[in-house]
Structure 1
Amino acid sequence: MITSILQSMLTPEEVQRVVKFIGYEDKARKFTVYHLLQYWCMAPLEQWGSYRSSVDYAAPCGLPVVHYSRFSTKAAEVPFSVSKELFHLLVCKCNREARRKLTFPKELLLIDSTTMTVGKTHLPWAPYHGERAGIKLHVALRAENGHPLQVVETLGSKHDGPMSEVLAQSDYILVMNRAYGKLERLDDFKTREQSFVIRLRDNVHLEKPHALRRLAKPDSSVIRDITCQLGTPQCRSRQRHRVVMFWDFEGREIRVVTDLMQVSAEQIAQMYKARWQIEVFFFCKNYQWNG
């Protein structure tokens, strides 16, 4: 786990650039400065007391195995300035983006749409409402960097719900509003192991709720954390889903449904709150278009 986190924070290429900047010549191939850094990160976690004990337990931890004398020699010859510069680089990377990457099991993909309308005479092939015509942009936005991953253009009358299936990506957690919360779609996402956090409509019935055990946290906005089936006997989800209820910053009760079971209710609420990034994205783009 530590080595995978380190890999996501500092790549071997970045470490090599720091080594080159300091002026240290790393001639080793089997035990480089990056390997030394991995050992240094793992040693305090595993409480290794010496170079010899470190190399004895290296293999089970996924580290390259070397003789303890090579480890001690490398540790002695690498300048302190290299470690200092790597530490500064690591601190600079400990920003909100990095914290979110380590906290959430997958990256968030925010899905929503925006409609641009004009007079009916300008786009006669795209009727919308009354004398207005319009086109709709369905956007999948990466929460990590605020960049669109995919954009699909449709007529303004196209419903948002089905487009979530087009924009879905199994490598991401989909975060969406109420327009995408059709019960059949939720069952399908769960069957396909497509992670999601979707706001429920206020009138969706919660059938046979079962409270999940959770550690109460001070100042938490979470109201309730349960599993249940969704809907009425006439239209009900086949599977049980997790539902988290919390207060938003304006004091309104929000209900979201998710397939994620190994994260806290507070994290689920934080994921949905990240959806505001796509609203800001649309506001900025609409301002540019209208300007």
Structure 2
Amino acid sequence: MGKFSRCGDQIAKGKKSAFRYHSTLAKKAQNVPYQILQELFSRLVERLGRGARRALLKPYKLFAVDSTTITFQHPDMSWAGYTRTRHAIRLHTKFDVEEGQPTQVVSTTGRDHDVMVAPKLYNDLESLSIITGDRGYARTSDFQDLHERNQFFVIRVAKFFSLSDEMEHSIPLESGGKVKVDQTAFIGKGSRKTKSRFRLVTFTDNEGNEIRVATNLMMMSLEDIAYIYKLRWQIELFFRWLKGNLDLSNLFGNSPNAVYSQVYGTLISYFLLRWV
């Protein structure tokens, strides 16, 4: 019993020490401009993005866009309003699927919706890039803008999206039965209606759920379009890894400097682990 008692005392001391460590770090981080870590992260992205690329979807470069929300409860977090009882920040991310790493992170409070931040993630795209995203990134004005800039996209749209002048096309037998609809149409209505026709492909996932995506890849096979959207899952795995392995879901500070310093410090740690 003496051994177990001593072990229990050591564990309790360890917990108190960890709490003091986090508390001290949070106080120090309040006075450190997080922009320093943000700039360091940007330089690491530039440095590590020069590596050799795998031939995933030659000649295209594939990026996934999505965001993750980190919520917390603290009386001194009014700057990060989210709901009446909780506060949150959101990390809007552009993710290089081939390299397996983020190339851009825009940090905002939890109330900033994906579709409002999306244009920032669409800037500085390489030629022959494809952007893939979920329904939070489906906005007809962005579809038209990307198309006019000769950038490609595969973005999921909700069933309630209005279509006009639909033209349905036959589906090749080699699609394996998973592709249900292949059509072109104008998307939206009124002032939000696109000026160009876009392709809409409906297919089923592994669980039989129907997914409809909009794209301007008019000549690409149906199987490749479905495959591109499925690769979007890689950014979800990245967010899970950050929160689970690097403990980003637990924020130890309450000021903007402390919170965003932890965020960009964690992102830097991710890059260094990949580099090593």
Structure 2 partner of 1:32: none
CA contact (8 A) 2:157 2:213 kept: yes
Q: Name 1:85's counterpart in structure 2.
A: none
Q: Residue 163 in 1 paired to residue 120 in 2?
A: no
Which stretch of structure 1 is more off in the superposition, 255-264 or 163-172? 163-172
Cα-to-partner distance string for 1:99-126 (whole Å, 9 max, x where unaligned): 5233xx4111000001111114242211
Residue 240 of structure 2: aligned partner: 283
Note if contact 1:170-1:193 (Cα within 8 Å) is conserved in structure 2.
Answer: no
**8 Å Cα contact 1:120-1:131 kept in structure 2:** no
Q: Specify the code of the residue in structure 1 equivalent to 2:149.
A: R
Tell me whether 1:149 sits opposite 2:103 in the alignment. yes
2:92 is matched with 138
Matches of 2:172 and 2:182 in 1, distance apart? 11
Gapped regions of structure 2 (runs ≥ 5): 1-52, 251-276
Helix, strand or coil for the counterpart of 2:217? Answer: coil
Q: Distance in 2 between matches of 1:217 and 1:175?
A: 24
Contact 2:74 2:87 in 1 (8 A): yes
Is the Cα contact below 8 Å between 1:120 and 1:127 reproduced in 2? no
Given that residues 175 and 223 in structure 2 are in contact (C-alpha distance below 8 angstroms), is that contact kept between their aligned partners in structure 1?
no
Residue 263 of structure 1 and its aligned partner are, at CA, apart by 1.0
Deviation, 1:233, is 4.4
CA distance in 1, matches of 2:228, 2:144: 20
Cross-structure match for 1:100: 56
Which residue of structure 1 aligns with residue 72 of structure 2?
118
In the aligned structure 2, how far is the partner of 1:112 from the partner of 1:218?
A: 28
Superposed CA deviations along residues 68-89 of structure 1, whole A, max 9, x for unmatched, are xxxxxxxxxxxxxxxxxxxxxx
Equivalent residue runs for 1:185-200 within 5 Å? 185-200=142-157
Q: Which residue of 2 aligns with 1:9?
A: none
The structural deviation recorded for 1:182 is 1.0
**Rg larger in structure:** 1
- Aligned AA for 1:153? S
Please give the alpha-carbon distance, in whole angstroms, between the structure 2 residues aligned to 1:179 and 1:235: 16
Q: Which of 75, 81, 88 pairs up with 1:127?
A: 81
- Separation in structure 2 between the aligned mates of residue 267 and residue 239 of structure 1, nearest angstrom: 22
Unaligned segments of structure 1, at least 5 residues: 1-96
Quick one: which of 193, 201, 205 aligns to 1:236?
193
Using CA pairs under 8 Å that are at least 6 residues apart, name the structure with larger relative contact order, 1 or 2: 2
| Post-superposition offset of 1:261 | 1.6
For residues 239 and 131 of structure 2, what CA distance do their matches in structure 1 show?
18
Offset at residue 284 of structure 1 (A)? 1.4
How much identity, in percent, do the aligned residues show? Answer: 35
Structure 2 counterpart of 1:100, one-letter code: L
Q: How many aligned positions are there?
A: 193
Match in the other structure for 1:271 = 228
Counterpart CA distance in 2 for 1:152 and 1:205 is 30
2:208 aligned residue (239, 251, 260): 251
Matching residue's letter, 2:72: V
- CA distance in 2: counterparts of 1:218 and 1:228, whole angstroms: 21
Question: TM (normalized to structure 2)?
Answer: 0.65
d(CA) in 2 for partners of 1:143, 1:250: 23
The CA RMSD over aligned residues, in Å, is 1.9
